[in-house]
Structure 1
């Protein structure tokens, strides 16, 4: 799959769609295509929102004035045991034209995270007075069918200490711009060490901080030349925005430390299908800018991790419990 991991992060699973004959879905008409696509891609959008939101901190202690750290961070939002995210129930009563070949009124089918295969559906319509046409096709599977059970993200993050226990953070992914893929990623955050305000703060065995972080991702994927869907100037444009609010506590040892946090995540993704799409024989021959998909997430998160500090070189790893449990790891270079 071309640009596989980038496509996961940027457009909520379009690479999975590229493996199936997505034009078949449009044969059922735009309304059916929108309903199916929303249910199919929605869980992957959620996983991506959780993935890009992690990794804001690796200590409860804010850096002193002039202290800095540059990190390369990778996140993996796991969905291996998320059966409720890997499938959804397709009820034909909710669709105008889509029907199961086996005659079922409803079936459990794969989302973009799933691995179910061999589920066949059909659409049938009158193309001329007295002439009926029927088209059968197989619904797409998902990432689990490719042996992939996580949604990845990766970025560079920089932190610098200011005054009075305040640490400023910024994260970014260098802009990628090819003939058909473009993606940009950035975020800003603030950490305030509350224990730095207390009397004799240096004798406290732990550091306690509050962290706020904002992450933004935008990108586009032009798939006109892939042959996935017949039409012209076909592309997806998407944006993701997340806010994280965390309370963090950590030890203050010289070499190895342990940290943990609890907080709240709020995020939203919007994916616009733009261009002209052939919609089959059920409705008009083609549609332009057919629909936009929106998915929101919010919920409590909690994590625990450890950090190893060897001079200017550091390593950290933590595990987050949330709607999508995530593993975050980083290589860090810093001063003070």
Structure 2
């Protein structure tokens, strides 16, 4: 359960579960970095799609001084994403890492989203005298997690005709007194139909939306890494952009909306501190050993509804992309 909490908190934490991280560095920093990038890529990709959503719940831009405060939650599922739960590990691409069973032969292993367990690997020196064996880690699905959640508070306010600005944030949250995570973002929406003379009688609205989101955090695992050293931590940063065209109905109580857009994101996680490897055939000291990076982009589309009951509103939508996301918003607004 601990691995799940940390992974959900920072999208990079399976690396630093005590025995996993110790074993990775035993294989050498080059092998550890290669494996970590492949293992975490689907996790960060799911996270990027998750935090990129929820920027709008209508194409009808708010009038001057109109505002809305929202609590937005996202659930990004991967239960049926078998292609994201594994990657092929080819020992020929690694300097030291190999399988105990059928060495030298490539095979699928678990990503941070997967569930394959009990894959035994080994490392040994050039003379075959020093040898270390360990199991590769499984992922979230092995602990009955099949989604990546995200959430934040979002506000929007109308300015000049057709223009609406937005901001979102999640105050710094701490996990287990060693990890913290926070989120902020800004967006803009412009309704083109506000330019038309018949705007008041048109049954639909059409808008363009641009939204930027940043998720950052860190985890200090000096006391839990299982490896000697100091100031051991991971610092992670995820940035995303969402560019969307949106259309919605303009009715008094319930409305429906849909959007077509493009999402682009980047994740970076730096493993920092001093690590003194005292077991295995490659005993040495590493300082700030490696980084894990991933770039993601793709088209997304969504459909949703918004129910307006005076000051209180509620909306729900389903986003279809490389990772599908369900979004629910509870909103409080004026005009």
TM-score range, shorter chain: over 0.9
2:253: which partner in 1?
255
Are the counterparts in 2 of residues 166 and 191 from structure 1 also a CA contact under 8 Å? yes
- Give the C-alpha shift of residue 16 in structure 1: 7.0
> How many Å separate the matches in 1 of 2:143 and 2:320?
25
2:85: which partner in 1?
86
Matched position secondary structure for 1:155: strand
Matched position secondary structure for 2:211: strand
1:206: which partner in 2?
204
Q: Structure 2 regions of 5+ residues with no counterpart?
A: none
- Give the C-alpha shift of residue 228 in structure 1: 4.3
Are the counterparts in 1 of residues 208 and 244 from structure 2 also a CA contact under 8 Å? yes
Q: 1:167 aligns with which of 153, 164, 169?
A: 164
2:30: which partner in 1?
31
Mapping of residues 290-309 of structure 1, within 5 Å: 290-309=289-308
Farther-moved stretch of structure 1 (283-292 vs 294-303): 283-292
Matched position secondary structure for 1:306: strand
Mapping of residues 11-50 of structure 1, within 5 Å: 12-15=11-14, 17-18=16-17, 21-50=20-49
2:232: which partner in 1?
234
1:125: which partner in 2?
125
> How many Å separate the matches in 1 of 2:196 and 2:227?
62
Q: Structure 1 regions of 5+ residues with no counterpart?
A: none
Measured at CA, do residues 115 and 22 of structure 1 come closer, stay the same or move farther in structure 2, by a change above 3 Å? same
Measured at CA, do residues 80 and 235 of structure 1 come closer, stay the same or move farther in structure 2, by a change above 3 Å? same
Matched position secondary structure for 2:282: coil
Farther-moved stretch of structure 1 (283-292 vs 264-273): 283-292
Mapping of residues 135-150 of structure 1, within 5 Å: 135-150=132-147
> How many Å separate the matches in 1 of 2:113 and 2:206?
37
- Give the C-alpha shift of residue 199 in structure 1: 1.3
Farther-moved stretch of structure 1 (168-177 vs 203-212): 168-177
> How many Å separate the matches in 1 of 2:19 and 2:81?
23
Measured at CA, do residues 315 and 131 of structure 1 come closer, stay the same or move farther in structure 2, by a change above 3 Å? closer
Farther-moved stretch of structure 1 (13-22 vs 205-214): 13-22
TM-score (norm 2): 0.94
> How many Å separate the matches in 2 of 1:25 and 1:16?
8
Measured at CA, do residues 92 and 7 of structure 1 come closer, stay the same or move farther in structure 2, by a change above 3 Å? closer
Deviation per residue, 1:252-302 (Å, 9 max, x gap):
111111100001111101110001123443334221100111100111110
> How many Å separate the matches in 2 of 1:4 and 1:203?
51
2:266: which partner in 1?
268
Matched position secondary structure for 1:264: strand
Measured at CA, do residues 328 and 160 of structure 1 come closer, stay the same or move farther in structure 2, by a change above 3 Å? same
Count of aligned pairs: 332
Measured at CA, do residues 183 and 294 of structure 1 come closer, stay the same or move farther in structure 2, by a change above 3 Å? same
Deviation per residue, 1:28-49 (Å, 9 max, x gap):
1111111111111111011111
> How many Å separate the matches in 1 of 2:9 and 2:260?
25
- Give the C-alpha shift of residue 125 in structure 1: 1.6
Matched position secondary structure for 2:129: strand
How large is the RMSD of aligned CA atoms in angstroms? 1.8
Q: 1:217 aligns with which of 215, 218, 222?
A: 215
> How many Å separate the matches in 2 of 1:108 and 1:229?
28
1:111: which partner in 2?
111
Measured at CA, do residues 323 and 31 of structure 1 come closer, stay the same or move farther in structure 2, by a change above 3 Å? same
